[in-house]
Each structure stands twice: as structure tokens, then as C-alpha cells.
Structure 1
């Protein structure tokens, strides 16, 4: 039995994702596909547009066989931590042969070479990186400049230019997956697939393959969509996605829905500062406190705090960490547990039951299917990580209840998805 793994957010699940699953199985000759998916919040520091069980359901209806959840502390972290946690989860299953990821640059030798440089960190590269950081470059730009400088100085010959590799978030994630595989000395084989949708940041709906950004932009519009845009939106997602996204009882969330809650949280801790939270420096903590009176909404506050040395996405992640109580000590605990201390099962197809039996035998990690019952299986450190998942999800459901006016099941009342 051959198994391919995919690390994803499915925010929301669209035609490009369905294509990737089909192509991943085809190119890897895999019988089954396992997905490691973000839960209630995603890597760019915002809530997912719809809940994790709905997104897992969309995936299971479109070719995925098993879906596990990436812990909240890593799902909302930097690309490096997100990718490392995803690879660690797939590695821990003991049955994944290949990991598939979509990117614009599918030159695997180039990915491998650049990943080796970033993993080994040669002295010349580190010196160049320090130089660009001191000049005020944001870290992603400083790393890109240092990498190009190092490759040019070393005289390496490459088919594709490394600057193209670092030009999009999808390529950066692909590079982080490759780094994680190298660092873990993993036997999993990387399989890049050419992306078929619009650009990562594109907000234009296109025929058949639109980006998740474009789909979210259309879904969250405050004005009614034109008939053409509505039809384009419907054609951009599989039926299972459309059935949920356009259902009368579906409530879609964005970071803006958490604006008042964020302001209260920031105000209540303005005297003590925010440096205990993950990725928040003293300078940025002071910047938040000084600008707090200008905070009118989540997205606008990110724009206000943005500067040339810190990206909008990183700011959004930092604010989300504060809102979700994700602290630097949580990172320390997570790393001590080798990032993934349990396997949180969200759903599976009945035909994949034999694979779940294999995972139970091969993996040393507990599989969590019932939070109330299975927490007894966890060590104190693993429980601390899991409680962050519970809190963040319950906050998401609570906000859904407030926006919809309808009570929501909490994390302890939800059951894993089973598809026949």
C-alpha cells in the first residue's frame, strides 16, 4: 500500500486542491492520501473562513482518505515552523512514502540545493544575512538577498534562478518542506506539482482554477456578487465545497469578526506588555501599546503597524498569538515534544480503515478521536499543547455563534467524520 501525504489549509477547498490530490495519487502511484491540515486558524495569522470539520469534509469528498489536524501553535506559526510540524506529523505516521506540495517552481534539484544552504548555513551566507538585516530589510527579503549573494559568489550553475524560487509564499513553503525533510533525515520523498490556480495573492476569480485568496475575497464581500462573479465562484470549487459555502446556515468568518475581542485583549494587557507571546519582540510590544488608541479593527491595525522591516502577515500572526494566548513557552514545550506529541484525527473514509490500523501499530503517538476521553493518554506537555487546540477552536465556535445567533457545539461535543 503506497501513501502520499499533503500539508494543507484548504481555506477553503477549491478545484486546485482537488486537482492536487488527484495528481499526487497519480504521480506517486499512491493508493491513499493523508492530509495534515490546519485547524481553526491558518498560517497567515487569521481564522479560517469556515470551520475545520467542514474543510476536512470537503477534502474527504474530493479524494483525501484521512485528515489529521496540525496543532494550533504550529498552524499559526511562521512558514518554517508550520512546514516542520506538517512534515513531522506525516513522518510520525510511519506509512507515508511521498509528500506532495504545489508550487510555481517545480525544479526539485534547485529546491534541494537552496534548502541545503539554508539548513547548513555556511559562514558566508550568515554574514550576508546579518548585513542585510542590519540594513533594515525584513527577514524574508534579507534571506533572499543573502541567498542570491551566496549563490553568485560560489559560482553555482542553476537551470532556474533562485530569486524566482523565493518570489511566492507557495515556493517558500515548498522550500521549508524540503528543509524539514533534510533536518529530520526523513525517508519521505518530496513531490512538487505545478500550481494551476491564480497567483497566491490574486483576488480575481478565473475560470476553473481560482486562488483561495480570490475565493475568500468573493465570499466575504459585503455587497452582493454580480451574476457573473457568483457563477465564477461556483465553478471555482467542487460541489461539496459549494454545498457548504453557500448553505443558508453557514457562517463565514474573517479576522475582522475578532476585532473587538482583539482590542479588549490588547487593552487589558497594555500595562504589562506582550513579550510573553510567540514571536513578539520588546520593540513590537511597545509599538502595539503606543498605537492601541488608533486600533479600529484587526486588519486596519495590521496595516497601521506594518513597516519595511516587518510584513503584514507576520504582524497578523503576532496579534493572533496574543488573542489565542500562544506564548513563547508553548513553542518551547512543543519543541521538547518534537513538535507533534499526538495525532488528532478529524475524519477518514471507511476504505482507509486498514491504513488507520497500520498507523496505530507503527506510530508511537496516541491517536485522538474523542477529546474528553483521549486526553488521559497525553503527557503533561502534550496536554498543554492540546489545550491550546481546544481553546482556539472553542473561541472560533464562540465567534461563529455570536455572528450567526445560533449556538454551536464546542470541541468536546464534536465527532470525527466518517465517510463511506
Structure 2
């Protein structure tokens, strides 16, 4: 059996994602699609709208065959670290290809750019650091450095979010998994950051869907843009836990962290650099909402996304020393299996003996400092939920076995 990998968040799973899964299998001629999915918190530093388990069910009901969790140490990170972690897991699972959507849609452009980066790495790193010193954000500095060092005529536009991620996937493959083949197709319809639901089409951005849910507080406005399985999972989660997760729900907990840590402790948190902890303390004392706090904090140098990640690391009390130690290892520390279809289970049975990374289906059978962080992230994620449902959700981290989905009956069961 042949497997292709996709790197996802499914926040929530929509028709664009369903198209992406179909394209992944078709264009790579693969039997199964393996999704490496962020867990409780996402690459841009936001909480997932619902739990990993609910999003796993959405994925399995819409064509994904295996869902594994992208560990926290990779998930809430800049694009390069995020991509390296995802590729490491897909490589460990013996994927022959990785498929991603992009604004460019031409895999040769990604490969040219990755090779150019590899040849001119030292110069690009030097100019990137210089641009950061001038006050550029890191993504803007990296894009400017490329234009400084390499003729951009035949290279990627690295100002676009999916192009940036795709470039780092291809670069990671070039560096660590040359036997894995990258594929891409152009994103269709709504752009990644589109905030308004489109008219006369079913594919909307996840951003616009989340915004509509937040603004209207009902599911009516988004029904046309979501597969029935996704809509049911969202409704069931809201009914069970009384909310869909937003950053605003964590603002009081973030304030509590500030109130219980001194400046020196803040400076030791991962991603907090260059004395920004002083600016953070001042901003939090004047803000009455998360959005107002970030607005007071934002500068040209620090993007909204970087600030969001910084504050998630703070909520997690993630120390620099601990994160740097965990990121030293190039190989994935483990593969956390969240769910699979019948076909996915067949694939795992075939490759299981070849795996050189532990496949984790029960937390009681495996321990690792990075896995401890995944558990901590789930506990922090549950904080806005009222008891006793908060405890129920955190216990699910230990009690829930990988979900098995039967495509023929449409039923779920735990192994």
C-alpha cells in the first residue's frame, strides 16, 4: 500500500479540506492519506476550536485514513520548526509523498527555491538577521533576504502563508527525507486569511467560518460551508462542553500567569526575547480583552502571529531551556495515533514492524518529556470549560484510545 501525507489543523474541517484530501490521493496515486494534525494549540498560537478527538472524527469521516498528532513542541512554532516536525513524523510512517496546497501551485518553483536556499544558506541567514535588526518581522526579513541574495524572477513569492509553509516542507524533505516526493496544487476559491464567507460557493476559509461562529453564536450561517460530519461534531462539542474555543476565553488565565510570575521568570519563557516582557507587562495591565492586549503589544517587528505564539508559550509556562533541549533531536520522538479508517489500520499493520519510532496508542504504555507537554497543552486547553466537563475532557486524554472509523457503516469505535 502507498501512503501520502498531509499536514493539517482542520480548524474546522471544511469542503476545501475535503477537496485537498481527494487531490492528495489522486495526484500522488496513493491508497491512504495520513494526516499529521496539530493538537490543542495551533501553529499561529491559537487554541483549536474543538478538541483533537472531535477534529479526528471530522477527518476520518471525510476521507482521511490515519490521523496522528503533531506534538506541541512542533505545533506552536514558526514555519520551519513546524514543517520539520511534520515531515519527521510522515517520514517515520513511511510516507512516499507529502501533498500540500499553495498559492503558487507549481512544485518546481518550490524545489528551485529550496535548492537555492540550500546553496546560499549562510548569506540568506546573514541578511535575514540584518533585516530583523532593522525592525523587520522574521517572515518579512526572510523574504527580503531571498530577494537580496537570489534573483527572485524564478523563485517563489514567500510573502504568501501557504507558499511559506510549502517551501519549508520541501526544504525539510530535501534535508532529511530525499526519498519522499513533494506534491502541490493551487488553493482554490477562498484565501487562507479571508474573513468573510463567500457567496455562491461552498468553499470558505476556516478563518471566515470561525469568525461567523464567533460573531453570530449559531451554526446557521456556516451550515452551507461545512460537511455534515463537521457540523455534527461542532454541534455535539458545543452541546457537551458549552463552548467553542477562542483566544478570548483564555485571557483571564493569561492575566493570572502575569500576576504570578516576575519579570525574570517571564524572560525565561520560550519565544520571549529582546526585553519584550516589559512591554507585555505594561500592555496586560491596561487591557480588558485579549484583542486589546495584542493591539497594545503589536509592533512592526512582532507580527500578530508571533505574539499569539508567545502568549501560548506563556500560558503553558514553556521554558526556553526545556524547549531547546527537546528540539535538539532530529528524529520524531514518537507517533501519537489519534484515529484510523479500516484501510488506515491495514496500512499500519503492514508497516508497523518497519517503524523505528514508537507508535503510541495508550499514554500509560509510553512516556517522554514531549508527550508530557502534549498532556499539559490539553489541560490548559480545557481551562475555559466549566466543571465537571473540564475534568471529563482532560481525562479523555488518557481514556480515549485511537478512534476506528468504519467507512461502510459510518460508525466509530475505540480500539
Compute the displacement of 1:351 (Å): 2.7
User: CA distance change for structure 1 residues 105 and 403 in 2, over 3 Å: closer, same or farther?
Assistant: farther
Q: Give the aligned partner of residue 30 of structure 1.
A: 30
Q: Give the aligned partner of residue 236 of structure 1.
A: 225
Does structure 1 residue 417 correspond to structure 2 residue 403? yes
Compute the displacement of 1:286 (Å): 2.2
1:105-116 aligned within 5 A: 105-116=104-115
Q: How far apart, in 1, do the equivalents of 2:390 and 2:333 lie?
A: 36
Q: Report if aligned partners of 2:247, 2:290 keep a CA contact under 8 Å in 1.
A: yes
Q: Report if aligned partners of 2:6, 2:33 keep a CA contact under 8 Å in 1.
A: yes
Does structure 1 residue 221 correspond to structure 2 residue 215? yes
Structure 1, residues 83-112: CA drift from partner, whole Å, max 9, x if none?
11000100111x211100011101222211
Query: What RMSD over aligned residues (CA atoms) do the two structures have, in Å?
Result: 2.1
- Normalised to the residue count of structure 1, the TM-score between the two structures is 0.90
Q: Give the aligned partner of residue 413 of structure 2.
A: none
Unaligned runs of 5+ in 2: 407-415
Q: Give the aligned partner of residue 147 of structure 1.
A: 146
SS, match of residue 264 in structure 2: coil
Compute the displacement of 1:275 (Å): 2.2
Q: Report if aligned partners of 2:80, 2:168 keep a CA contact under 8 Å in 1.
A: yes
Q: Report if aligned partners of 2:116, 2:150 keep a CA contact under 8 Å in 1.
A: no
Compute the displacement of 1:123 (Å): 4.7
Q: Give the aligned partner of residue 204 of structure 2.
A: 210
Q: Report if aligned partners of 2:61, 2:229 keep a CA contact under 8 Å in 1.
A: yes
Does structure 1 residue 102 correspond to structure 2 residue 96? no
* Aligned residues between the structures: 400
* Range with greater deviation from structure 2 (286-295 or 13-22): 286-295
Q: Report if aligned partners of 2:378, 2:394 keep a CA contact under 8 Å in 1.
A: no
Q: Give the aligned partner of residue 315 of structure 1.
A: 307
Q: Report if aligned partners of 1:263, 1:295 keep a CA contact under 8 Å in 2.
A: no
Q: Report if aligned partners of 1:401, 1:407 keep a CA contact under 8 Å in 2.
A: no
Q: Report if aligned partners of 1:5, 1:35 keep a CA contact under 8 Å in 2.
A: yes
Given candidates 359, 362, 377, the residue that maps to 1:392 is 377
Compute the displacement of 1:343 (Å): 0.7
Q: Which runs of 4+ in 1 moved over 6 A?
A: 403-406
* Range with greater deviation from structure 2 (271-280 or 36-45): 271-280
SS, match of residue 35 in structure 1: strand
Q: How far apart, in 2, do the equivalents of 1:403 and 1:211 lie?
A: 33
Does structure 1 residue 169 correspond to structure 2 residue 161? yes
* Range with greater deviation from structure 2 (6-15 or 199-208): 199-208
Q: How far apart, in 2, do the equivalents of 1:131 and 1:409 lie?
A: 44
Q: How far apart, in 2, do the equivalents of 1:22 and 1:402 lie?
A: 40
Q: Give the aligned partner of residue 287 of structure 1.
A: 279
Does structure 1 residue 261 correspond to structure 2 residue 253? yes
Q: Report if aligned partners of 1:258, 1:399 keep a CA contact under 8 Å in 2.
A: yes
SS, match of residue 54 in structure 2: helix
1:16-415 aligned within 5 A: 16-93=16-93, 95-152=94-151, 158=154, 162=156, 165-206=157-198, 207-222=201-216, 230-231=220-221, 233-247=222-236, 249-250=239-240, 251-338=243-330, 340-372=332-364, 374-375=365-366, 378=367, 383-401=368-386, 407-410=392-395, 411-415=397-401
Q: Give the aligned partner of residue 412 of structure 2.
A: none
Q: How far apart, in 2, do the equivalents of 1:337 and 1:130 lie?
A: 24
Compute the displacement of 1:167 (Å): 2.5
Q: How far apart, in 2, do the equivalents of 1:130 and 1:22 lie?
A: 40
- Normalised to the residue count of structure 2, the TM-score between the two structures is 0.91
